[in-house]
Amino acid sequence: MIYFSRKRTICFFVALVGFLPVVCNSFGLPSKGITSPIHTLINQENNDPLRRQIVCSVPLMALSLPANAAETAAEAIRILTSKNIPGLGPPDVYYPAYFAGKWKTTRIISSSDDAFFTDLENLGVKLPIKVISEMRFVTYDAGKDFQQSDNANLNIAPAIADRSFNEQSYYASLSEEIGRLYSSTKSMPSIQSVNWAPTNPNVLSLDYSDGSSKEVKVTKRSSDVSNDGNNIFSSEFRRITQVPSSSGIAGGIPSVYKSRVLTKWKQVSPDVIEGIEILYNEAGVLGDKSSDPLQMGIGGSGAISSLYGGDSKDLADWRSTKTKILMERI
């Protein structure tokens, strides 16, 4: 769906109604019965071809106004979001203009049954964990080097997340926090390089110091923003490919799993934004968990089997991580 501002819509219909007779005349078509004050006025100089050419172009000009002619931040976001990529959705998650800039970000990881955090719990790392990092958002048309924004109205120009900066900052802070609080825990490998570009925001590739790597590829997304621009929601489905170090037990054999991240943001003040994030990671299928009391074996009498029967063995086993987020402008 294409969203037009009220001014653009009014401009178009006034031009269409007022100058339709002139368009008809320019093509030699009868305009009987199509009259208006504007038509009468223009007919006085109907023999001027230059005037007729200018008049005929007005409706087209009304349609060709750029997206940055939107009157509100929410409208600007919806114009961009409407440009869906078939099978994927919007090209990126777009945020209101007030997101642009750097933020001190405090994350409270409150609960998780994901393998990463259950393994840490077995080593003595208990949730919740507080992780303080930084996040950065830039104008959506800033270009590859974030310096090329040509938007005429930065007050409503949507922003996008700098996924490379944000991932590096969060990962480094998480690693540092775990190492500081639980010195006996095996340290996480540091990030050696990140490959991501705002012109292709769907793929984020990371290489680690131990020789392992990870690729996060967004396969589908959706987002929405409230009319006042104070509430933002997004959902992204992702395919994650992890390649362990060739010296590890897995011997460099890649593993692929699905992931989904749901995020909701609310502006508290011009310099404070609160959010909540729920991350779902696929951990095999329920058929792999024969000891699961919900599964009770193939075709068993567990809660899941009673709903889905023997087919429950093929259901994806999703593990979730819930995080509260507080962003304060730097």
* 88 shares its domain with 222: yes
Question: Alpha-carbon distance 265 to 327, whole Å?
Answer: 10
Within a domain: 158: yes
Q: Integer distance in angstroms from the first to the last C-alpha of the chain?
A: 36
* Structural domain harbouring 49: 6-65
Q: Which of 22, 44, 65 is the last residue of a domain?
A: 65
CA distances (Å), origin 68, targets 63, 64, 75, 98, 205:
13, 11, 9, 16, 32
Pull the structure tokens for residue 221.
Answer: 């997304």
More confident residue, 202 or 38: 202
Report the domain count for the chain.
Answer: 2
pLDDT in tens, 105-135: 999 999 999 988 988 888 888 899 999 999 9
* 42 shares its domain with 86: no
Within a domain: 1: no
pLDDT in tens, 158-179: 999 999 999 999 999 999 998 8
Q: Which of 43, 65, 87 is the last residue of a domain?
A: 65
* 86 shares its domain with 153: yes
Q: What is the side-by-side strand order in the sheet with 129-139?
A: 159-161, 129-139, 101-112, 316-329, 272-285, 255-269, 231-243, 213-225, 200-208, 191-197
Within a domain: 78: yes
* 32 shares its domain with 137: no
* 180 shares its domain with 280: yes
* 13 shares its domain with 159: no
What is the per-residue pLDDT for 101? 93
pLDDT band at 137 (very low <50, low <70, confident <90, very high): very high
Query: Has residue 28 got a pLDDT over 80?
Result: no
Within a domain: 136: yes
* 37 shares its domain with 177: no
pLDDT in tens, 72-91: 888 889 888 888 888 889 99
116's CB contacts (< 8 A; 6+ apart) are none
38 beta partners: none
* 33 shares its domain with 93: no
- Could you give phi then psi for residue 127, rounded to 5 degrees? -85, 150
pLDDT band at 296 (very low <50, low <70, confident <90, very high): very low
* 61 shares its domain with 78: no
Q: What pTM was computed for the model?
A: 0.72
Query: Has residue 253 got a pLDDT over 60?
Result: yes
CB 119 within 8 A of CB 319: no
* 182 shares its domain with 234: yes
* 130 shares its domain with 40: no
Q: Which of 65, 83, 114 is the last residue of a domain?
A: 65
* 176 shares its domain with 291: yes
